[in-house]
Amino acid sequence: MTMKSVKILFLFFLFNSLLFAQIPTRLLSSQIESKIDSIIRLMTLEEKLGQLNQIGGTWYDTKTERLNLEQTAMLKAGKIGSFLGITGAIETGRIQRIAMEQTRMKIPLLFGYDIIHGYSTITPIPLAEASSWNPELVQQSARIAAIEGSAIGVHWTYAPMVDIARDPRWGRIAEGSGEDPYLGSVMAAARVKGFQGDDLLKYGSLLACVKHFAAYGAAEAGRDYNSVDLSERTVREIYLPPYQAAIDAGAWTVMSAFNDIGGVPSSGSSWLLTDVLRKEWGFTGVVVSDYTAIMELIHHRIAKDSTEAGIIGVTSGVDIDMVSRIYVDKLTSAVRSGKLSEEIVNEAVRRVLRVKFVYGLFDDPYRNSKPGKEKELLMKKEHRDVARQMAKQSIVVLKNERELLPLSKNVRSIALIGPLAGNENRRELVGTWAWAQKPELVVSVIDGIISKTSPGTKIIYDKGCEIESDSGARIEQAVKAANRADVVIAVMGESQGLSGEAASRTILDLPGRQKELLKALTATGKPVILVVMNGRPLTLEWESENISAIVESWHLGVETGNALADVLFGDYNPSGKLPVTFPRNTGQIPIYYNHKSTGRPFVPADKYTSRYLDAPNTPLFPFGFGLSYTTFGYENLTLSASTIKSTQSITVSVDVQNIGKRSGEEVVQLYLRDDVASVTRSVKELKGFNKISLNPGEKKTVQFTIRPDDLSFYNLSMKKVVEPGTFTLYIGGNSVDCMEASFEVIE
Ligand code: BGC
């Protein structure tokens, strides 16, 4: 034995005794860093690259062993640092035991999984949750997801997805919080806090992963995986704020996106991953690539082979290679041949180990692998209660002519029509990213309505048509059902696979023959309520002109039927507001409320202004819009000053009164416009909101503080500044119908 190997052996034993000598649960970050130093010193290059390697498992199966022989051998050789998609307390425990007992370094594994809107207790899709404008509830929803995720052995959820999306053709709009950077930031922070809890070391917390960094939502033409080309100004002003808000809220991991931005793939962008994320924002956690995104650097044609792709990825700041296996397979020789500095690898390993430390895995590698917990925690009654509350508040009423809604629970007969109304398509109601869904545990609309209405109410159900098929064979029968009832509830929209990843669409009408069915139902002359279930804004222009009541349900999760019945029959007064603009037709896309003025703002009488010949510029339903069963009046808009210095704040207050007959909640929204600036600014930007509840006749004063940061923007040198001049502020219940006031900022 040489001196060198004696030394290594000594360090190795020292390290193991350090590991098992009861490491205190709460380590100071300096203690963690010095532990990491000693671990890295003991690791071989292969083991280091192993920590940067994430292997994919099979998604659905929780019963059988999920590593094949090759993967098991890799694991034992220390060549795997984390897994994706392996769940189950027993199986994650079994695999962790291999890492802890049969690898040289005994470094615990991380288990990652996409828990986007609940695991077993599936809550509404994120776009729906954003419609609640209720961050506390969204935080609770993420909390129950984290508790259930912990129960199934997972440590790390690939959420929240915080990509701003201005294009509803892009199916992944369903996974985010819509089009607005402010609302998106509030929701991003709420979800991170919900997933990570108030203490990562406590049972029931998951590591959050902010994705997809960055600007994936701006995929050209709304086609998934497509290129993005945006100015740095737009990236910073519109797309980056929610990621930063998530980091500020304490997110420990980030996922680098598939897309390139202006010629640089996000997963190979040192500007994004090192300059902005780490140097500007001070992020010290881990960046994981999106699925095979390191390999895709070759398809982007910025790397000629996998070695080059791996070098670009790790050098620009992607620490973990999700399933490409390029780091583990190719980077050893890249380091040995001098093409890649081992220091860069060490830095990435340091971040991975840091996250494993802060999550307490060195202390208790089996923290989430406790078999009894699955039974105890999945689909708990309390979790379903949160899911129902969340679902109710996610619903947005878009039209309600002559107060058709709410319906009486004693209505004599209801024709319940449509492919999403009955029990057979229950799996579609939960929406995208719901791998563990059990359709039999989803409350269908028919069941929700039956349990809400009086025993005497007759419910005549007919599917009417399929979600997507070409056949209109059942339409006539559905019309007969409608004719026999007092009121028609049509439940239509998209299947779960029509939104989410790889689900872009160019036509956003109701799919298949559903619109034809709806037209036939309307022709009966019966009052029709349309309940739309979807993962994105649909084009509902005909519907908005011809249907008396439209309820935007989105994909609401396991409590769909109960939540909808609560709203349809008035047990809950709807309070949801759109987090995204609804276009009249796809030709208007991209359409969003915070657009620029242009040099030729629209003037109705002037053809040579910014307009279409065949459609208005205005959306069908604007951002922030949603109806209640009561009415809210706004008055007394008051500012604390008419002039402030650029370093000062200003307070604005408004009285909001419930002038209708039912108790209800209103989302009071505050928008600002910088009237004149050195670069063009949006016509209006959301800067605050407050969801309040009011009894009939009750009045509340709502107050907002506008801080210098709310007034600032990136100037020509990309510095955030507040420029002197006048500002207009708008307050109201949506982005269009607002009261206005103005104030001036001086040096
Ligand atoms: C998606 C990510 C997801 C990852 C792992 C990718 O295809 O873009 O959002 O987290 O798969 O499942």
Residue nearest to atom 8 of ligand 1 (CA): 290
Residues 427 and 566 in one domain: yes
- Of 555, 575, 595, which one is at a domain's C-terminal end? 575
- Of 554, 575, 596, which one is at a domain's C-terminal end? 575
Residues 428 and 510 in one domain: yes
Does residue 20 have a pLDDT over 50?
no
Taking only the tens place, the pLDDT of each residue in 301-347 is 999 999 999 999 999 999 999 999 999 999 999 999 999 999 999 99
Q: Tokens for 693, please give them.
A: 């509840």
Atom of ligand 1 nearest to the CA of 85: 12
Question: Is any atom of ligand 1 closer than 6 Å to the C-beta of 163?
Answer: no
Distance 158 CA to ligand 1 centre (A): 7
Distance 291 CA to ligand 1 centre (A): 6
CATH number assigned to the domain comprising residue 567: 3.40.50.1700
Residues 416 and 537 in one domain: yes
Question: Are the C-beta atoms of 313 and 326 separated by less than 8 Å?
Answer: yes
Which residue from 125, 291, 318, 435 has its CB within 8 A of the most atoms of ligand 1, so it is best to mutate? 291
Residues 483 and 416 in one domain: yes
| Span 620-644, average pLDDT | 98
Say how far apart CA 129 and CA 556 lie, in whole Å.
9
Q: To the nearest whole number, what is the mean pLDDT of the chain?
A: 95
Residues 514 and 648 in one domain: no
| Span 682-707, average pLDDT | 98
Atom of ligand 1 nearest to the CA of 113: 12
Instruction: Evaluate whether residue 240 is within a structural domain.
Output: no
Instruction: Evaluate whether residue 270 is within a structural domain.
Output: no
Distance 636 CA to ligand 1 centre (A): 48
Just list the catalytic residues: 290
Question: Is any atom of ligand 1 closer than 6 Å to the C-beta of 114?
Answer: yes
Distance 220 CA to ligand 1 centre (A): 19
Domain count across the chain: 2
Q: What is the DSSP string of 250-310?
A: T--EEEE-S-EETTEEGGG-HIIIIIIIIIIT---SEEEE-TTTTTHHHHTTS-SSHHHHH
Instruction: Evaluate whether residue 601 is within a structural domain.
Output: no
Distance 248 CA to ligand 1 centre (A): 23
Instruction: Evaluate whether residue 483 is within a structural domain.
Output: yes
Residues 419 and 519 in one domain: yes
Instruction: Evaluate whether residue 600 is within a structural domain.
Output: no
Say how far apart CA 27 and CA 312 lie, in whole Å.
33
3-state secondary structure of 321: strand
| Span 162-170, average pLDDT | 98
Q: What is the DSSP string of 171-185?
A: GGGGGS--S-HHHHH
Per-residue pLDDT, 67: 86
Residues 550 and 415 in one domain: yes
Residues 527 and 660 in one domain: no
Instruction: Evaluate whether residue 109 is within a structural domain.
Output: no
Atom of ligand 1 nearest to the CA of 258: 8
Distance 211 CA to ligand 1 centre (A): 9
Give the model's confidence band at 27: pLDDT under 50 very low, under 70 low, under 90 confident, else very high: confident
Give the model's confidence band at 63: pLDDT under 50 very low, under 70 low, under 90 confident, else very high: low
Question: Is any atom of ligand 1 closer than 6 Å to the C-beta of 362?
Answer: no
Instruction: Evaluate whether residue 352 is within a structural domain.
Output: no
Instruction: Evaluate whether residue 725 is within a structural domain.
Output: yes
Residue nearest to atom 7 of ligand 1 (CA): 291
**What one-letter code names the amino acid at 34?**
S
Q: Tokens for 89, please give them.
A: 């307390």
Question: Is any atom of ligand 1 closer than 6 Å to the C-beta of 211?
Answer: yes
Per-residue pLDDT, 632: 98
Per-residue pLDDT, 746: 97
| Span 365-387, average pLDDT | 97
Residues 537 and 651 in one domain: no
- Of 533, 553, 575, which one is at a domain's C-terminal end? 575
CATH number assigned to the domain comprising residue 686: 2.60.40.10
Taking only the tens place, the pLDDT of each residue in 262-278 is 999 999 999 999 999 99
Residues 415 and 490 in one domain: yes
Its domain, for residue 676, covers: 632-746
Residues 559 and 642 in one domain: no
Question: Is any atom of ligand 1 closer than 6 Å to the C-beta of 291?
Answer: yes
Question: Is any atom of ligand 1 closer than 6 Å to the C-beta of 629?
Answer: no
Residues 507 and 428 in one domain: yes
Question: Is any atom of ligand 1 closer than 6 Å to the C-beta of 685?
Answer: no
Question: Is any atom of ligand 1 closer than 6 Å to the C-beta of 158?
Answer: yes
Q: How far are the Cα atoms of 19, 333, 593, 641, 695 from residue 329, in angstroms, in the given order? A: 29, 9, 48, 64, 65
